[in-house]
Chain A
């Protein structure tokens, strides 16, 4: 009960801060059971993706200590009309924040107030549901669905409707923005785990995803590439018989789906990789992609579902209207799961915008925190 309450609190704190958790699990870094208030002078502003920081000198008697304050993802902040110049070196601010779990002088800001004016800074408004006109999906001249923008326009695929992959028949399993289960007793509804896989998944959950390879800037292979905060886009090179998937987050990775009719490779012979060997074909309005050849160096979803080199994915992409991409994936890894299982989600179209530069390496290491 207490654990559920704490997880609920964590989820509340993290609500609206999805992008903050872009490269590492905030739950692993910050201790949501504690809150502190800092007041000090801004000495530096790092307005960089994926996580913006400013630094404040906090005086305690004759001692001055420099603290790092994480306060959001610049892309999200800019969308909400905050700018790098909103905060200036020399400003005095009052910060209510969640401190780091370790002794590092690092906090995750819950609110930042400009002391001189009393103005609250960097407050993200609650997400507003977008009105959908339910325009038909764009099509190529031959009638095939376009996965990118309508001709002459721009846009990309943005937020996923879920934060973790769960077997469809489980209906809903409650988890936070990082894929942490609200209630670990629901683990058996997530996927049909083999015993070792369930134990590994629970270990990752209990340790708050602290060993997530994505925190070391490893690529988000598998379904995870479609649930990252900064979206993705499809570049359909029909004349070359391939579709490129360009990812907005992480390391701006790209993946190739071959649609030139080539057969899938032999599992024992393909070079193992983060994005696997993918061949796709159109089944009426659905792109069906078969992928094998994954290495074991990544977690294929938020939340830490395990897999082995035997992972075989069948993904189905459809676009019922302009604004929605429906993604469904069947996971077949007999070394990890007792049977194949299917899950999925929808992704929202972001019209008229381009994916922004966003490099995991920018401030992935903690050594820049003094």
Chain B
């Protein structure tokens, strides 16, 4: 074998190797794209149908794309049901829940990580055991409590039961614990109170964990269906998912309108997800989902 032949053979082998790697990568992309298509399809169908006419929605085989892009369905849906009110309610309740639960969680996490008191870790362990109890088991009693407090059909009823979240406190407390002690004692020596230390030092450091909690909580509040369905019974108090559901049961099966309304429910969260995917996914991977 001459040197030239040898080099040629080597190059042939390398080419075959590259080809195989290339094919494997192409196969990977094809498979991933197929799966992604299946996962995204319901959203594609929702968005595309939101622009179809009533006729286009009721044909077989179905039309995959609308003939024209008109916002007519959105206008009709907003006219037939007060989706603007629902949207406003959802924004208010999500904000109140994020702020309220956030504050309660920050204070509790601080006590469970930085302050010292008898039985602290025992109490915390017992709380973790409570986390295993599904919300479905608590729902009957919580409904009774809300009814006894005359809070049925109020926005307060949608925020109050979720203020004390063991799960979020668990996440934040674990983050707080990882903040070195030295920081605390040097701040105390400089005359900072616990309160000041919490807000000036710990909270800014814990921004990643706080972001996670805020995002997960915002998603959970925005999408919440079961609890609002139980405690809300008048139209002006409905949140978006509940309003969407009653729009279907009361307004009939007009899929072009239902898909337009669904788009309104889904879009804000999708935008949030596109911007904060890493934090949301990281939070889910660390602690699972609430509920």
**Do A and B come together as binding partners?**
no
